[in-house]
Amino acid sequence: MITETADAQALAAQLATAARAAAGRLASATSADKDHALGLLADQLVREQERILTANALDLEAAEAAGTSGALLDRLRLTPERIAAMAEGVRQVVALPDPVGVIEGMARRPNGLLVGRMRIPLGVICIIYESRPNVTIDAGALCVKSGNAPILKGGREAFHTNGVLVEMMREALAAAGLPADAVQAVATSDRAVMTELIRRDGEVDLVIPRGGEGLIRYVTQNATVPVIQHYKGVCHVFVDESADVTMAADIAFNAKVQRPGVCNAMETLLVHRAVAPRLIPELFTRYKAAGVELRGDARVRALWPEAVAATEEDWSAEYLDLILAVRLVDDFGTAVEHIRKYGSGHTDAIVTNDYQASQRFIAEVGSSCVVVNASTRFNDGFELGLGAEIGISTSRLHAYGPMGLQELTTKKFVVMGSGQVRK
């Protein structure tokens, strides 16, 4: 445990300096070398799974002794199947195109200069996350593929597991002739080193906190390094007057029930009053059978008396559970206003057969993902075609929505001349 500020500063400086040097080398590594390192990693994960499972057993034991609950224990637990899935994830990253070095929009200026923008890595990325150890491998692989050097700070519950996983990444990098320091872990569970790292702007290029709202607020308040934020997903489905009722019921059911604990699950259903009498009895019967607790306004409860009365807090709640807030709206404008007021800018969907309503919804709702006639659950890097994702941003700078390999890069201008000078 690091308790002295001086020690935390020294460790942060050491991590940042090593990461910077490694990032410099990794930035000009070929795709072939990066892919080779990741291929070695995928092999090693499976071949040396006992090493991982032994470390994981230590973490599980400590967590059980500390009285950790069943769901959290399950998130922490690795099995041969889960390790195989991690390795398969790495192979999928290998198969993705490398964004680094791509030059976009190269064109000649009137004075003959050839100007384009080349994708380059961001540099050093500090990733702070909780619990699930697969994030270590997912995030590490995406960073290496895109030429970035991550400094990983996982949760203390997964300390031993993450330690072995980072060791394996470093071994694979070294075996491929790349700098091992391209992936580093903060080798303490103390928050002090993280707090130092996120204030080293100029050395650390980005911090991605993945976890609860408290962690993200702490990082935003204390960082001088840019932060990718993902506060919460208060996602809406609005069933418009003209909606196909069967389609609306299928989408609203899927958006709530298919995986309620994730950020792109629906939390509030808005129903146009004209369609409510046809939609609600059928849909709510299905919800009830699936164990969904329904919280509605007065008009919803008139149609479905079992519903609990929704309070003001329900409209901005991220339940991440089988609970749904439902409101009847008189018109399209009220639905959009509701989404703007209570939404989190994550994912919002409309179900409609009206052309103008679909166009207006796309234009007027500014969330990171705006959906017509499909489930909110599609806001995901894989589903939207990015190949993979390192997280979802709900702040508008740099990336908005899922971040894939391309969002882990920036673009520099490349100018090729033949002696041009400014007049």
Range in contact with a copy of itself (rule: CB under 8 A) among 177-185, 277-285, 325-333, 370-378: 370-378
Among 33, 43, 318, 364, binds a copy of itself (CB under 8 A): 364
- CA dist 376 and 349 (Å) reads 6
The residue among 109, 207, 212 whose CA lies nearest residue 155 is 212
**Residue 397 touches a copy of itself, criterion: CB under 8 A:** yes
Largest CA distance in the chain: 79
Q: Which helix (H) or strand (E) holds 345?
A: none
32 binds a copy of itself (CB under 8 A): no
Distance CA 128, CA 222 (A): 14
**CB of 345 within 8 A of CB of 233?**
no
Nearer of residues 143 and 255 to a copy of itself, judged by Cβ: 255
Helix (H) or strand (E) segment spanning residue 201: none
By rule CB under 8 A, what count of residues binds a copy of itself?
71
The angle at the Cα of 62, spanning 56 to 66, to the nearest 5 degrees, equals: 140
| Smaller CB separation from a copy of itself, 46 or 400 | 400
In whole angstroms, how close is the CB of 101 to a copy of itself at the nearest point?
8
82 belongs to the binding site for a copy of itself (CB under 8 A): no
For residue 46, the minimal CB distance to a copy of itself (Å) is: 27
Judged by CB under 8 A, the stretch of 35-43, 185-193, 267-275, 406-414 that binds a copy of itself is 406-414
DSSP reduced 3-state for 329: strand
212 forms part of the interface with a copy of itself (CB under 8 A): no
Q: Is 74 exposed, middle or buried (0-12, 13-18, 19+ CB in 10 A)?
A: exposed
CA 48, 49, 52 angle in degrees (round to 5)?
Answer: 105
Stretch that binds a copy of itself, among 153-161, 270-278, 303-311, 363-371 (CB under 8 A): 363-371
Least distance from a copy of itself to the Cβ atom of residue 211, Å: 18
Residues 317-356 that bind a copy of itself (CB under 8 A): 340
Q: Which of 16, 367, 389, 391 binds a copy of itself (CB under 8 A)?
A: 367
Write out the binding residues for a copy of itself, residues 216-245 only, by CB under 8 A: 220-221, 224, 226-227, 229, 244
CB of 206 to a copy of itself, least distance (A): 6
Only segment of 90-98, 179-187, 249-257, 268-276 that touches a copy of itself (CB under 8 A): 249-257
The strand pairing partners of 238, in sequence order, are 270, 350
Q: Which range, of 34-42, 279-287, 305-313, 415-423, touches a copy of itself by CB under 8 A?
A: 415-423
Beta carbons of 200 and 19 less than 8 angstroms apart: no
Pick the closest to residue 367 from 230, 254, 240 (CA basis).
Answer: 230
For 113-201, where are the alpha helices, taking DSSP H only? 134-145, 159-175, 191-197
